[in-house]
Structure 1
Amino acid sequence: MAARPLGCLIVLVRSSFLALCLVAVPALPARAAPYAAPYADPFARSGKLAEAACPEPAITHGGIPRTREYLSVIMKCLHKSWKARFAADRKPFREPRVRFYDDPERRVCGVPWPESAAAFYCTDHRVLVFPLTGEWIENRTDLYPLKVAAHEYGHHLQSLTGIRRHYEARVKSSPGRQAELGRRYELQADCLSGVFLAAVWGSLDRTGEDWTALLDATRASGDDEHRRSHGKGVTRVRWLKRGYQALSPAACDTWSAPRATVS
């Protein structure tokens, strides 16, 4: 089993596509709440995700794409790991539905297919949508497809725990902060993907070079000067590594984090 390195998609920020639990806390004075508080992250007291076996299948075999098979295996691993964690935390769990598409459709989940999305989560239907083609997964040998799948699954966890409702309510009450709140939502999903990667790392037959390649790919997926929805590349890497190092969703509280850490 490979040693775990020391260190640790795409979702549109709209009511129909969201992919980062909820306990009321006394309101603080306005000057004392500079971030997304008052809010108690439902994962705050969650324990570590149990280490698990998830042998990674090949995305291609004999030159033939096997992306559906690859993602199906990863989904089973995600279901098993997070179901166990929710049971330990005494939280209700429900697996998301999963849909695979050979090519993008004109509409999915009742809305137009997001133009620039790799994979995404339909919040209203609790469906994970995975196109089986595109740069995010075709002919790749790195861990990026696994990370994307784990990120989108993180959005499902956010829906199960009430984090999505918190996010949407905050956007509604503070529309001027939509971009910032959206980044908190997305970066939490990055962190949750890091937690899962840490839990299954020992069974992936990967090396430190693979980890470095994933950090590079994640960094490259960061916001550019025209888009401020998911966080800068360096910020996405920071939260991915944070989840990986902690092996616990309790480390993924982006809602009370200083603004500088969710840029």
Structure 2
Amino acid sequence: MRLNDFSKNIRVNDQRGMGGGLGGGGKVGCGAIVIALIGAVFFGIDPMTTLGVVEGVQQGGAPTGQGNGKTVEESCSVNQYSRETCAALSSLDATWQPLFQEAGIAFKQPVLNFYDGRGQSGCGAAQSAMGPFYCPTDQGIYIDTSFYDQMDQQLGAGGDFARAYVIGHEYGHHVQTLTGTSNWVRQMQQQNPQMANQLQVRMELQADCYAGVWAAKNPQLIEPGDIEEGLTAASAIGDDALTKGRVSPDNFTHGTSQQRMQWLQKGLKTGDEDQCDTFADVRR
């Protein structure tokens, strides 16, 4: 993917080298950590479920400002993965902000939070074993960039577009927060507990579609082989592929490989965020 360099106007927080910890007095039980570890490679994992956060209750605030005293430029230049991630965030901001303005919806940039090993978020502890995630409480995207190596070596999902897809997916969750979709889903899950997993799957598939829309709206950035990298990544992180039959479809939380590829492709082919309504039949 031929990403431009990152903008210094993106919002970045750097917790690397700060020792991590729960922060803010937040506590995460051992059971929740085990669940998070089991879901390690399910990037896009929902911290509201894995970290035991009760709806409407914040378990601890994420740090603000530039952790470690680093500027955006310094944080984004730590390594190649940092620069790629910041560049993807810049492009995502530039793509989504005008769409929100056109729709008359208030837009706010998410905060990209780097950490290594352990960190803290508005949703509780962050651990690298969880994979990248989005926290709606502080509207932050959290990532330990070593995950990219794990994605390549353990899942066979390498390449710069596969990595960009990760950030595009997490940004999709930010879009859901700003549009009110996230709150609506939480309410629906509380009212219909038997549909909780199904609704979570739809959240993840919509985020996949939004990642595809971002790429489709920036065709000048796409290089040969990029789309194949993205689809390989989507297939590799399907619930059925990761669990290899050890978890029943009723307990899926992110969608099958086929579903994830299908919705990523829909975003890529249409370039239309309105085509990403994975809740159309539920809203009727």
Q: Same fold (TM over 0.5)?
A: yes
- 1:127-178 C-alpha deviation (Å, 9 max, x unpaired): 1112121223799434111001001001001000100011000000001111
Corresponding letter in the other structure for 1:237: M
Corresponding letter in the other structure for 1:11: I
1:118 to 122, 125, 131: 131
| Residue of structure 2 in register with 1:100 after alignment | 114
- Pair 1:220 & 2:254 matched: no
| Residue of structure 1 in register with 2:177 after alignment | 159
| Residue of structure 1 in register with 2:103 after alignment | 89
Q: By how many angstroms is 1:77 displaced?
A: 0.7
How high is the TM-score relative to the length of structure 2? 0.65
| Residue of structure 2 in register with 1:31 after alignment | none
Q: For 1:152 and 1:203, how far apart are their aligned partners in 2? A: 19
Matches within 5 A, 1:1-263: 9-12=43-46, 14=48, 65-101=79-115, 103-105=116-118, 107-113=120-126, 116-134=129-147, 135-136=150-151, 140-204=158-222, 206-207=223-224, 209-224=225-240, 225=245, 226=247, 228-257=252-281
Contact 2:169-2:208 at 8 Å conserved across structures: yes
Secondary structure in structure 1 of the residue aligned to 2:113: strand
Contact 2:216-2:268 at 8 Å conserved across structures: yes
Contact 2:121-2:138 at 8 Å conserved across structures: no
Q: For 1:213 and 1:172, how far apart are their aligned partners in 2? A: 37
| Residue of structure 1 in register with 2:20 after alignment | none
Corresponding letter in the other structure for 2:227: W
Assess, with a 3 A threshold, how the Cα gap between structure 1 residues 65 and 98 changes in structure 2: closer, same or farther.
Answer: closer
Assess, with a 3 A threshold, how the Cα gap between structure 1 residues 195 and 186 changes in structure 2: closer, same or farther.
Answer: same
How high is the TM-score relative to the length of structure 1? 0.70
Contact 2:118-2:128 at 8 Å conserved across structures: no
Contact 1:187-1:231 at 8 Å conserved across structures: yes
- 1:203-237 C-alpha deviation (Å, 9 max, x unpaired): 23x11x33123212211110033251100001000
Assess, with a 3 A threshold, how the Cα gap between structure 1 residues 16 and 85 changes in structure 2: closer, same or farther.
Answer: farther
Tell me which moved more, 127-136 or 91-100.
127-136
| Residue of structure 1 in register with 2:66 after alignment | none
Q: Matched residues, percent identical? A: 25
Corresponding letter in the other structure for 1:229: T
In structure 2, the gaps of 5 or more residues are 3-42, 52-76
Q: By how many angstroms is 1:68 displaced?
A: 1.0
| Residue of structure 2 in register with 1:24 after alignment | none
RCO higher in structure (CA 8 A, sep ≥6): 1
* Number of positions where the alignment pairs a residue of Structure 1 with one of Structure 2: 204
CA-based RMSD of the aligned residues comes to 2.7
